[in-house]
Structure 1
Amino acid sequence: MPRNRQDVEREIKVAEIRRAAVDLLRDGGYPALSHSAVAKALGLARAAIYWYFPTKDDLFAAAMADVYAQDLGTPPDDPDVMARLRWAVERLTVLQPLTHALHERARQSEVAAELEAALQETLCSRLRDLLAPHVPPDRLDQVATAIIVFVEGLLTQPRSTDERLGLLEFLVTELTRA
């Protein structure tokens, strides 16, 4: 069935709202995001935002999905495992305050929990694909899980870029030894 004008206008409006929400998140984190702030940024009535995103968590999850897609959606086309892992860890470092907010909201919000689970699965799958040529199949899930747990912990500690990447390289080298 062909789409009608109303469907197209809705998609455009939702995309505008999501872009404004992403901008607010990037500028001020979770506390800066609200229906009122998005409405003000777009020159709309607050009720218009609620029409598309009934709760702050719905708005937050949609914006976070966009943030992750923008920042982690296109890894470098580099066959070097460490180059790609360094790229991902540095992007995750920048995203850490927003990721922490998502983790906190996931404890109370189903939509945030669903997004967090989907993002985890996507990152795990991409990591397994990256490691598959370098790790025996019977160890792949365990090695990928160890790296994920390590990176999550690493991102919560105040470390310099060199320290962070040095520790990552050490771990990956140890785990991918034949």
Structure 2
Amino acid sequence: MPRNRHDVDRDAKIAEIREAAVGLLRAGGYPALSHSAVAKELGLARTAVTWYFATKDDLFAAALADIYVADLGTPPADGDVMARLRWAVERLTALQPLTHALHERARHSPAAAELEAAFQEGLCTRLRALLAPHVAADRLDRVTTTVIVFVEGLLVQPRTTGDRLDLLEFLVTDLIGASGRS
């Protein structure tokens, strides 16, 4: 007879499911993620996964949030503006297929739309704080928006790492009017 769900620590089971979903996303992107794949990975019935995450997009948003925290949660504490931006752009480049899937799913899924909005807000807040010492207050929002739009475009174009970083440095040097050094 199967165990009653009351015997299962809810938080521990959610963490276990999210961890398996993260592994699937990292290995195969959005197409690799499914309730069935997570259940198989954990040796559970598919319904056990849907008990905690009703839709694939709920599962996707939870797992992608974990990936964002792991990959973008701890930027370098020191270093000049360019070093910190290079760090972020390289991580965002690696995450681009998942971020693109998030953007696509946000059109149809409240969970994905909520994560996308929180992700964008978090990036804007962090970038604004990074640029604030180098940009006049009356230009800060516009410069922040310009850098974000530029980076988003940079991420979807097929460019080498060197090209991406050269263009980023050119933008920051010209837009901020300094070397970007703190």
Indicate the TM-score class for this superposition, using the shorter chain for normalisation. over 0.9
Query: Residue 3 of structure 2 corresponds to which residue in structure 1?
Result: none
User: For residues 76 and 133 of structure 2, what CA distance do their matches in structure 1 show?
Assistant: 17
User: For residues 42 and 102 of structure 2, what CA distance do their matches in structure 1 show?
Assistant: 24
1:37-93, Cα deviation, whole Å (9 max, x unpaired):
000000011101000000000000000100100000000122310000000000000
Change in Cα spacing, 1:147 to 1:23, as seen in structure 2 (3 Å) is same
- Structure 2: where are the runs of 5+ without partners? 1-5
Query: Residue 109 of structure 1 corresponds to which residue in structure 2?
Result: 109
RMSD of aligned C-alpha atoms? 1.3
User: For residues 139 and 78 of structure 2, what CA distance do their matches in structure 1 show?
Assistant: 23
Displacement of 1:9: 1.0
User: For residues 36 and 8 of structure 1, what CA distance do their matches in structure 2 show?
Assistant: 20
Change in Cα spacing, 1:32 to 1:173, as seen in structure 2 (3 Å) is same
Q: Does 1:131 align with 2:117?
A: no
Q: Does 1:66 align with 2:66?
A: yes
Q: Does 1:9 align with 2:9?
A: yes
Displacement of 1:22: 0.3
Query: Residue 56 of structure 1 corresponds to which residue in structure 2?
Result: 56
The one-letter code matched in structure 2 to 1:54 is A
Query: Residue 42 of structure 1 corresponds to which residue in structure 2?
Result: 42
1:91-111, Cα deviation, whole Å (9 max, x unpaired):
000000000000000011111
User: For residues 153 and 75 of structure 2, what CA distance do their matches in structure 1 show?
Assistant: 22
The one-letter code matched in structure 2 to 1:77 is A
- Superposed, 1:20-39 pairs within 5 Å as 20-39=20-39
Larger RCO (CA under 8 A, 6+ residues apart): 2
TM-score by length of 2: 0.93
Query: Residue 89 of structure 2 corresponds to which residue in structure 1?
Result: 89
User: For residues 7 and 122 of structure 1, what CA distance do their matches in structure 2 show?
Assistant: 37
- Which stretch shows the higher mean deviation, 122-131 or 75-84? 75-84
> Equivalent residue of 1:132, what SS?
helix
User: For residues 35 and 71 of structure 1, what CA distance do their matches in structure 2 show?
Assistant: 24
TM-score by length of 1: 0.95
How many percent of aligned residue pairs carry the same amino acid? 76
> Equivalent residue of 1:133, what SS?
helix
Question: How many aligned residue pairs are there?
Answer: 173
User: For residues 138 and 19 of structure 1, what CA distance do their matches in structure 2 show?
Assistant: 43
Query: Residue 3 of structure 1 corresponds to which residue in structure 2?
Result: none
Query: Residue 154 of structure 2 corresponds to which residue in structure 1?
Result: 154
Displacement of 1:7: 10
1:92-146, Cα deviation, whole Å (9 max, x unpaired):
0000000000000001111101100000000000000000000001000100000
User: For residues 116 and 99 of structure 1, what CA distance do their matches in structure 2 show?
Assistant: 8
User: For residues 78 and 98 of structure 1, what CA distance do their matches in structure 2 show?
Assistant: 28
